[in-house]
């Protein structure tokens, strides 16, 4: 029964990730020099996972690194998937969820949490957004679920 829940959740996340990618036009040309970096880490293990997608002079590359390993793994996904992923990641960074201002009230603390950060680098410009813990709005929670779905899709292509 528990395995069924895990499989259903994983299948659901993949459907979300694929729908995110389908929203981005596969024919969209990305800037010839761009790098997207998705990082998530923390929790009791303290392991950090980093996914990098770059496009240099039209050549795409993607890799996944774990802080507890001495090597990175190539991500082997179709070029259209990597192109769409770059477009989606840039949209994530350019339209993060609005976070309400602090009210001074006591906020719950997060323990054993894994936080995610997204960064886009273009030539001499860099934009980044980092997950807030805990999510104080439903929009924030959904946003980071979509980011996590994309993260899982990209990580699934690592070999």
Query: Which pLDDT does position 138 carry in this prediction?
Result: 87
CATH of 2-96+110-156, one of 3.30.1560, 2.30.30, 3.10.180, 1.10.3470: 3.30.1560
Indicate the domain borders of the chain.
2-96+110-156
Write the pLDDT tens digit of every residue in 33-50.
Answer: 899 999 999 888 888 999
Question: Residue 17's closest CA among 149, 141, 154?
Answer: 149
Question: Residue 27's closest CA among 84, 77, 76, 89?
Answer: 84
- DSSP assignment letter at 69: S
Write the pLDDT tens digit of every residue in 71-89.
Answer: 999 999 999 999 999 999 9
Query: Which pLDDT does position 93 carry in this prediction?
Result: 93
Residue 11: φ, ψ to 5°? -60, -40
Residues of the chain with pLDDT under 50: 1-13, 15-16, 18, 20-21, 23-30
- Token readout for 114 is 């894994």
Query: Which pLDDT does position 143 carry in this prediction?
Result: 93
Query: Which pLDDT does position 28 carry in this prediction?
Result: 47
């Amino acid at each position: 029964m528990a395995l069924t829940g895990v499989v259903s959740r994983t299948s659901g996340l993949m459907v979300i990730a694929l729908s995110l990618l389908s929203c981005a036009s596969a024919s969209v040309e990305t800037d010839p020099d761009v790098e997207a970096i998705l990082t998530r880490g923390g929790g009791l293990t303290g392991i950090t996972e980093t996914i990098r997608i770059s496009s240099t002079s039209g050549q795409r590359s993607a890799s996944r690194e774990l802080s507890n390993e001495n090597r990175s793994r190539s991500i082997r996904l179709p070029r259209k998937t990597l192109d769409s992923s770059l477009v989606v990641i840039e949209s994530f960074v350019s339209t993060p969820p609005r976070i309400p201002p602090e009210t001074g009230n006591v906020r719950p603390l997060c323990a054993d949490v894994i936080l995610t950060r997204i960064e886009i680098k273009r030539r001499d410009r860099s934009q980044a957004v980092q997950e807030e813990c805990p999510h104080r709005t439903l929009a924030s929670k959904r946003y980071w679920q979509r980011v996590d779905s994309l993260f899982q899709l990209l990580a699934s292509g690592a070999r």
